Amino acid sequence: MKFTLHFWVLFCCLYALSKNIYARPDTVSVGALFTFNSTIGRAAKIAISAAVNEINNDSSILPGTNLVVEMQDSNCSGFVGIVQALQFMEKDTAAIIGPQSSVIAHVISHVANELQVPMLSFGATDPTLTSLQFPFLVRTTRSDHFQMAAVADLVDYYEWKQVTAIYIDDDYGRNGIASLGDELVKRRGKISYKAAVRPGAKKSEMASVLVRVALMESRVVILHANPDSGLALLSLARNLGMTSSGYVWIATDWLSSILDSSPRLDIGLLSTMQGFLTLRQHTENTRRKSMLASKWSALVKKDSVDDLFLINSYGFYAYDTVWILAYALDAYFSRGGNISFSNDTKLHEVGAGGLQLKAMTVFDGGRLLLERIQQVNFTGATGPVKFDTDGNLIRPAYDIVNIVGSGLRTVGHWSNYSGLSTSLPETLYMKPAKRIRGDQKLHTVIWPGETTVRPRGWVFPNNGIELKIGVPNRASYRQFVSVDNNSGTVRGFCIDVFVAAANLLQYPVPFKFVPFGDGSQNPSYPDLINNILTNEFDAVVGDIAIVTNRTRVVDFTQPYVESGLVVLTSVKKQSSSGWAFLQPFTIKMWCVTGLFFLVIGTVVWLLEHRINDDFRGPPVKQVITVFWRGHEKHPWPLRDHHMALRGSDHPVQLHCQLDLHTHRAAAHISNHRDR
């Protein structure tokens, strides 16, 4: 009997203890911190309210516990956001949804680490907000590290090597562009100019920044801003003629958020960004996404919002953020967790003065709740929701959107798994990962100026330093290099080859030709080469021989002309007649030849007429014999050898050996024997 009594007492104690451990609170207070009157905040406010209602009406999650979310408007002020975050810490808040701003997240993440309160941010995309430094900041959206990788792949896909970055000069803008620079370097590209815009800058300040951008050689502009400043910059860029043909504008996902939220796109607004590319966080077509989108209009009206707007990708991520917290809290309570707080000894050591620092307490179960958040695994409105070992959501992907006419056109997608593709990212995860350049593919893009031809992406800059190219001002062989002393124009075959090669480059090379020499006589080529060593010239273009002593001090290009044995013929047509045989010799030569006929014939007659019967007879016969024998004994017998001019059966062949380096030509006339 006594044993039975002890057993029941022990059983009741264990039962009471178990009831106490696994008891769920009636309500859980959660804070939400973002800007209500913003493109992201308006959609997030309604999406969060919708998710809270669904969770509280769903008995399968957080049974017996009511989730209460207190929303605070930071009003785009970093200081106000910080104060409101501290106020949440004073109210024993179990978690905070937000902040929306990366600037605020940098500050209050230190507070969250100290007080161990998890923060789930759907808008802080700054890539430097890592889980290593800020473990209690959980990013429930995509990091800009992935977005900048997508931009870098776009730039590399179209074979541009340099870009100009325009960004807001805060944590969000600076760190995002720094990540872009790192990604471009991996693809052998770079940011040639960074144009920072002060937060809250006036239009005059923005115009000054854009004017400096217009002076740069790069025409590929990456715009990483917020909605208000971004639209102002685009309007000013259009007024400055910077959105016309030849320019390339790639805006990050802030632009797609604005356009996706507008039920009727403003034609005037779209006219400022025709041909632009923008990125959008890719969300899969899930059941929850369809349900939320179908009742969105009713939710907006229920919230007493006058202007109708649509949900954007950040709204879907805000919706999933509430569900992430709900699933984590449910697992937290199932494992015996409870909501309790204790004083922070470090705050007691600080002389707070009038500040109520003692009111801020440490969440005892914060680390356990953080572990449950990192272990969630479900399918939300955006697709599979699961965190990797680095604290990022799995399967990061973006849509590539082209702004054309009065609407938006998706030309492809980017994913961290397979790069650029025209297929949906979720369909590629079932295939082996391939990042081969040849497999990267996008649909045709309509660029600014309504053209499908890929812009070159650069022009010769107005403020760039020109290369000084030395050219020999020759007096001879001006077909290779010639300088017009009146106009200063440089022409010639060597100049044409140099200009053609410069135009094939994928980047601008400004240069100017500087003549070397007076033009009355050929300049000294060793002195011309030495001017490169003294930095008088950056390079030299011309008919310069590649010799050993010169190769020791300068680099030569590969020879682009080679001359061996060639045949030279007259370009000018010459008339042919029966007297063409007289043309090879001058009149004096013919007279000398005729005199030799007479002299040789007379000598032969004097020696032969006494013993040779052919030299006897009438005087006329003897004169004819003298001429005939003089012809036979001539040292250049025309009977056996001859040369014919152009127009005859055997044209004269002039063989010329041309040395392009020394410009010396040697010609000889070859005799052709009758065959």
Query: Is 559 inside a domain boundary?
Result: no
Question: pLDDT-derived band of residue 355, with 50, 70 and 90 as boundaries?
Answer: low
d(Cα 601, Cα 9) in Å, to the nearest integer? 161
Mark which of 552, 582, 608 sits at the end of a domain. Answer: 552
Strands 220-224 and 162-168: parallel
Q: How many CB atoms lie within 10 A of CB 194?
A: 18
Q: Is 667 helix (H, G, I), strand (E, B) or coil?
A: strand
What residues are paired with 447 via a beta bridge? 451
Q: Token pair for residue 388?
A: 């990797």
One DSSP character per residue, 522-573 reads: PPPHHHHHHHHHTTS-SEE-SS----HHHHTTS--PPP-----EEEE--SS-
d(Cα 62, Cα 234) in Å, to the nearest integer? 47
CB 246 within 8 A of CB 219: yes
Same domain, 488 and 524: yes
Question: pLDDT-derived band of residue 346, with 50, 70 and 90 as boundaries?
Answer: confident
Question: pLDDT-derived band of residue 646, with 50, 70 and 90 as boundaries?
Answer: very low
Query: Is 648 inside a domain boundary?
Result: no
Q: Which amino acid is at 272?
A: T
Domain that holds residue 489: 467-552
Measured distance between the N- and C-terminal CA atoms of the chain, rounded to whole angstroms: 146
Mark which of 518, 552, 586 sits at the end of a domain. Answer: 552
Same domain, 332 and 411: no
CA distances from 35 to 141, 181, 418 (A): 17, 30, 35
**Residue pLDDT, tens place only, 78-124:** 788 888 888 888 887 899 998 988 989 998 899 899 889 999 999 99
Place of tokens 């397979």: 418
- Judged against a pLDDT cut of 50, whether residue 635 lies above it is answered with no
Average pLDDT, the chain: 83
d(Cα 254, Cα 33) in Å, to the nearest integer? 19
Q: How many CB atoms lie within 10 A of CB 23?
A: 12
83: domain CATH number? Answer: 3.40.50.2300
For the chain, what is the radius of gyration of the CA atoms?
Answer: 44
Same domain, 100 and 197: no
CA 549 centroid distance within chain = 42
pLDDT at 439: 79
Sign, CA dihedral 329-330-331-332, equals positive
Q: Which of 283, 227, 230, 299 is nearest to 257 (CA)?
A: 227
Q: What angle in degrees, to the nearest 10, is found between the helix axes of 171-186 and 144-157? A: 40
Same domain, 277 and 290: no
Going by the DSSP 8-state scheme, the letter that residue 447 receives in this structure is B
> Which residues, 6 or more positions from 469, have their beta carbon under 8 angstroms from its beta carbon?
498, 511, 512, 513, 514, 537, 538, 539, 540, 541
Q: Is 631 exposed, middle or buried (0-12, 13-18, 19+ CB in 10 A)?
A: middle
- Judged against a pLDDT cut of 90, whether residue 644 lies above it is answered with no
Q: What is the mean pLDDT of residues 495-509?
A: 81
- Judged against a pLDDT cut of 70, whether residue 238 lies above it is answered with yes
CB 60 within 8 A of CB 22: no
CB 494 within 8 A of CB 480: yes
pLDDT at 312: 94
pLDDT at 209: 94
Main-chain phi, psi angles of 100, to 5 degrees: -75, -35
Q: Which of 401, 406, 405, 382 is nearest to 393 (CA)?
A: 382
Same domain, 156 and 273: yes
Question: pLDDT-derived band of residue 665, with 50, 70 and 90 as boundaries?
Answer: very low
Q: Which amino acid is at 36?
A: F
- Judged against a pLDDT cut of 80, whether residue 230 lies above it is answered with yes
- Judged against a pLDDT cut of 90, whether residue 10 lies above it is answered with no
What residues are paired with 249 via a beta bridge? 221
Q: Is 223 helix (H, G, I), strand (E, B) or coil?
A: strand
CB 408 within 8 A of CB 259: yes
One DSSP character per residue, 569-594 reads: --SS-----TTGGGTTS-HHHHHHHH
Query: Is 627 inside a domain boundary?
Result: no
Same domain, 533 and 546: yes
CB 101 within 8 A of CB 227: no
Q: What is the mean pLDDT of residues 221-226?
A: 95
CB 468 within 8 A of CB 538: yes
pLDDT at 632: 54
* Higher per-residue confidence, 395 vs 431: 395
**Residue pLDDT, tens place only, 450-489:** 999 999 988 876 666 788 999 988 878 788 888 887 777 8
Query: Is 295 inside a domain boundary?
Result: yes
| Count of residues in the chain | 675
485: domain CATH number? Answer: 3.40.190.10
Structure pTM?
Answer: 0.70
Q: How many CB atoms lie within 10 A of CB 207?
A: 17
Query: Is 250 inside a domain boundary?
Result: yes
Same domain, 101 and 179: no
Same domain, 409 and 546: no
- Which helix (H) or strand (E) element contains residue 515? strand 511-516
Question: pLDDT-derived band of residue 182, with 50, 70 and 90 as boundaries?
Answer: very high
Q: What is the mean pLDDT of residues 583-611?
A: 81
What residues are paired with 410 via a beta bridge? 401
pLDDT at 22: 54
d(Cα 30, Cα 322) in Å, to the nearest integer? 10
Q: What is the mean pLDDT of residues 279-305?
A: 90
Same domain, 133 and 61: yes
Tell me what percent of the residues of the chain surpass a pLDDT of 70. Answer: 85
Q: How many domains does the chain have?
A: 3
